[in-house]
Chain A
Amino acid sequence: AQSVSQHNHHVILSEAASLELGCNYSYGGTVNLFWYVQYPGQHLQLLLKYFSGDPLVKGIKGFEAEFIKSKFSFNLRKPSVQWSDTAEYFCAVTPANQAGTALIFGKGTTLSVSS
């Protein structure tokens, strides 16, 4: 069965600090990988995704993630966080090339950024 593990439950950073959130997945085949973000009081929304090709993908608001197939990892990074990045971040996986497939989510990481 597929599963997603996020290593950090709660991360606290000061503005301008660098961010890296860990994500590992368990699945035997080809996958699509996602990071979703939920800002306070808002709905879950897509931050970035990896389907194939360049393993370094860039998303909105300066976020990027790197897919390392050998490590089954898809870590999220941002060089310099802002107060507005305070949110909950979820890593998710789904089998590739299967239309309408549900996402399997990790437990999420709460990021708190102090100004």
Chain B
Amino acid sequence: EAGVAQSPRYKIIEKRQSVAFWCNPISGHATLYWYQQILGQGPKLLIQFQNNGVVDDSQLPKDRFSAERLKGVDSTLKIQPAKLEDSAVYLCASSPFMPSLAGELFFGEGSRLTVL
């Protein structure tokens, strides 16, 4: 079974530039998450999708971050304009919509962003 695919793996940009990250979840997984992991901290949820609808985006900085999952499969996370504090690893995860598996997430390898 293929895992969660993310690209690009690494990105270096200057502040005020824009960047986009792509994620393709495991086939059949209805729920998709974007987490931000800053160095030395645990992953923090940015946005959660159920199929193509947003479940939770309460911690997404909406003035600069946006995300979409138009067809309920792959997803894109965009940052525009980037700030220095956005330097982090952006993790995509997916899970099947099953109460018996609540909380069991499958993660991609992450996209490491460096903002100069």
Q: Which positions in A face B, CB cutoff 8 Å?
A: 4, 6, 32, 34, 42-46, 49, 51, 90, 92-108
Contacts and interface: CB of A to CB of B under 8 A. Distances in A.
B61 interface: no
Interface of B: 3-4, 30-31, 33, 35, 40-45, 48, 50, 55-56, 91, 93, 95, 97-105, 107-110
A45 B78 CA distance: 25
29 contacts: A4-B42, A32-B102, A34-B103, A42-B109, A43-B4, A43-B107, A44-B43, A44-B91, A44-B105, A45-B107, A46-B105, A94-B102, A95-B102, A97-B99, A98-B102, A99-B31, A99-B99, A99-B102, A100-B30, A100-B48, A101-B103, A102-B45, A102-B48, A103-B43, A105-B35, A106-B42, A107-B41, A108-B40, A108-B41
Nearest to A90: B42
Contacts of A96: 102
Nearest to B44: A105
A88 B106 CA distance: 17
B88 to A, nearest CB: 14
B102 A101 contact: yes
